[in-house]
Structure 1
Amino acid sequence: MKPIAKFGLAAKGTVYCLIGLLAFMSAFNLGGQTTKKSSNEGVFLFVMDKPAGKIILGIITLGLLCYAVWRFIQTLLDTEQKGKKAKGLSKRLTYFFSGITYLFLSWVSFKVLSGNGGNSGGSSKTDMVSLILHQPAGQWLLGLVAAVMAGIGVYQIWYGNSEKFHKHVNVQALNPEAAHLLMRAGKIGYISRGIVWLVIAFLFFKAALHSKASEAGDTSSAFAFVEQSTFGTYLLAALAIGLICYGVMNFIRAGFEKFKY
């Protein structure tokens, strides 16, 4: 299982580095890049357009699937020894939802790889939000979704600031420079990821408040929101660098993950 986990972490790191790269390019309008192209699907399309892109995207797709499988194994077999008490079960539940997320991402990547990708991500998100809004108490339900997203964002920022992420890595095997890079990249990366979650939560809250599905957003919408703010170019660039840092941290984890089995 260790090779599966390592491969998955490397794929996750690659995706985040590319998202950060495209967001940074969007901030300064480099290469015709825009925030609309900085979504997960945009990353996969970007890779496909490069030399040997199909091979590279195939590797990324398989890696994301491996990451999802690893998360499901952590959930079902309790490889992290979280136990069956409330706290442990809640942690295992986060592994499960993480697995679902990356299983979906691997599917999106596969669709692009097979030539069925495009601009479907935004419409799918709008359709999902619209479906929620049309349910009884739909605005409240969507508001609850926004609150959960905000909670995830706050947790990511806290987790990064606490530097607890280092417990997943065999730090003793790192040289001082690599250990320093892990702590810096992880802290900046988690905080940046948390900010993205908070912006997305805000967009979902607006959609709930106005009962307007089109106002809900994804990662690219969050980038666009940041870019349109005061000093948006520089804020987006800083956020992009932070996401690259998160990707770098995952690369370090891929090489030095601490396994309990």
Structure 2
Amino acid sequence: MRTPDPLMLRHLARLGYAARGLVYAVIGSFALLAATGYGQSKDTNGALEAILSAPFGALAAMALIAGFICYAGWRAIQAVFDPDGHGLTPAGIAIRLGLLASGAGYATLTVYTWSVLDGVVEQEERKGSAAQWLAGVIGSQWAASLVAAVFIGVGIAHAWKAISMRYDDHFMAGGKVMSIVHPVAITGLLARCVTFFIIAALLFYRGLNAGKDGGSPGLKEALEFIRELPAGGWLLGGMGAGLLAFALYSFTEAAFRRINVRDAFQVEAPQSFR
């Protein structure tokens, strides 16, 4: 079996992180606009539609499709080959399963982006197909509880990553750069953690009601829930700023993250690749 080109895989992974950053930059921007009354909050699908409706949207779509494919592939490599050394401990397995789920999610976003670009999928057919399938297999309450547990687990992982600054282990940058990255990364990771917790709470509530009050909630519903709280405009504005920080964190990963392709495939790469 031919070993993948380490330099190419590094470029692909960085393109994927940049694509993730672009989507969250749009989500955070719309959250800020919604907080001031000049727009509506959006989820990842809504952010993609906003990008595709802009000038040069088709070109942006092709770049995003390439980026999402790269990111989904890199997540699969992280989960299967474990270049970051998470290991086979219970915590390590949980992290690797989360990485695999993240890859599957971005693979779905790839299909969604292509469907919007191609114009062959109707709006109602785009929503919640995976959640609906799972609910049909094991029931609405069990499906909602299971997905809620996944979001809680991912949220806890984000919080721990922020508090412990474990992300620092994966950066190749000097002290001056990291002095800027640290507040951005911590803010962004905690903001994403909060949204995951809210999504989990909404899923659990809807599971108790057997999904009678609507479909599976996502990022948009979480942001709208924040807006409806007391002082919701301020809270939503803060969350928007946090998601923009997560977008910046994604861009810094695209630039400075250590991509351990050599460790993943156990090959010796030239020094210039490291």
TM-score, normalised via structure 1 length: 0.87
For 2:100, the equivalent position in structure 1 comes to: 96
1:16/1:225 Cα in 2 relative to 1: closer, same or farther (>3 Å)?
same
| 1:50-129 superposed matches below 5 A | 50-116=54-120, 119-120=123-124, 124-125=127-128, 129=131
Deviation per residue, 1:221-244 (Å, 9 max, x gap): 111111111011110110011011
Give the aligned CA root-mean-square deviation in angstroms.
2.2
Q: Return 72-81 or 228-237, whichever deviates more.
A: 72-81
Counterpart amino acid of residue 124 in structure 1: K
For 2:194, the equivalent position in structure 1 comes to: 195
How far has the Cα of 1:144 moved from its partner? 3.1
Deviation per residue, 1:191-227 (Å, 9 max, x gap): 0001100111111111111112516411111111111
- Identity across matched positions, percent: 25
1:72/1:239 Cα in 2 relative to 1: closer, same or farther (>3 Å)?
same
Q: Return 161-170 or 60-69, whichever deviates more.
A: 161-170
Report the count of equivalent residues: 252
For 1:147, the equivalent position in structure 2 comes to: 149
Counterpart amino acid of residue 65 in structure 1: I
Deviation per residue, 1:75-106 (Å, 9 max, x gap): 33333344445544433322211111111111
Gaps of 5+ in 1: none
Q: Tell whether the 8 Å contact from 2:140 to 2:211 is kept in structure 1 after alignment.
A: no
Distance in 1 separating the partners of 2:132 and 2:93? 31
Q: Tell whether the 8 Å contact from 1:206 to 1:216 is kept in structure 2 after alignment.
A: no
Q: Return 226-235 or 40-49, whichever deviates more.
A: 40-49
TM-score, normalised via structure 2 length: 0.83
Q: Tell whether the 8 Å contact from 1:5 to 1:254 is kept in structure 2 after alignment.
A: yes
Tell me, yes or no, if structure 1 residue 180 matches structure 2 residue 179: yes
Distance in 2 separating the partners of 1:222 and 1:119? 20
Q: Tell whether the 8 Å contact from 1:200 to 1:218 is kept in structure 2 after alignment.
A: yes
Gaps of 5+ in 2: 1-8, 263-274
Q: Tell whether the 8 Å contact from 1:186 to 1:246 is kept in structure 2 after alignment.
A: yes
Q: Tell whether the 8 Å contact from 2:98 to 2:154 is kept in structure 1 after alignment.
A: no
Match of 1:159 among 149, 158, 161: 161
Counterpart amino acid of residue 189 in structure 1: G
For 1:230, the equivalent position in structure 2 comes to: 230
SS of residue paired to 2:259: coil
For 2:210, the equivalent position in structure 1 comes to: 211
Distance in 2 separating the partners of 1:27 and 1:74? 36
Distance in 1 separating the partners of 2:137 and 2:79? 31
Counterpart amino acid of residue 34 in structure 1: Q
1:225/1:118 Cα in 2 relative to 1: closer, same or farther (>3 Å)?
farther
Tell me, yes or no, if structure 1 residue 4 matches structure 2 residue 7: no
How far has the Cα of 1:251 moved from its partner? 0.7
SS of residue paired to 1:171: coil
Distance in 1 separating the partners of 2:134 and 2:21? 32
Q: Tell whether the 8 Å contact from 2:187 to 2:246 is kept in structure 1 after alignment.
A: yes
Distance in 1 separating the partners of 2:224 and 2:143? 25
SS of residue paired to 1:62: helix
Distance in 2 separating the partners of 1:249 and 1:147? 25
For 2:3, the equivalent position in structure 1 comes to: none
How far has the Cα of 1:118 moved from its partner? 6.1
1:141/1:108 Cα in 2 relative to 1: closer, same or farther (>3 Å)?
closer
Q: Tell whether the 8 Å contact from 1:182 to 1:252 is kept in structure 2 after alignment.
A: yes
Q: Tell whether the 8 Å contact from 1:41 to 1:117 is kept in structure 2 after alignment.
A: no
Q: Tell whether the 8 Å contact from 1:143 to 1:205 is kept in structure 2 after alignment.
A: yes
For 2:32, the equivalent position in structure 1 comes to: 24
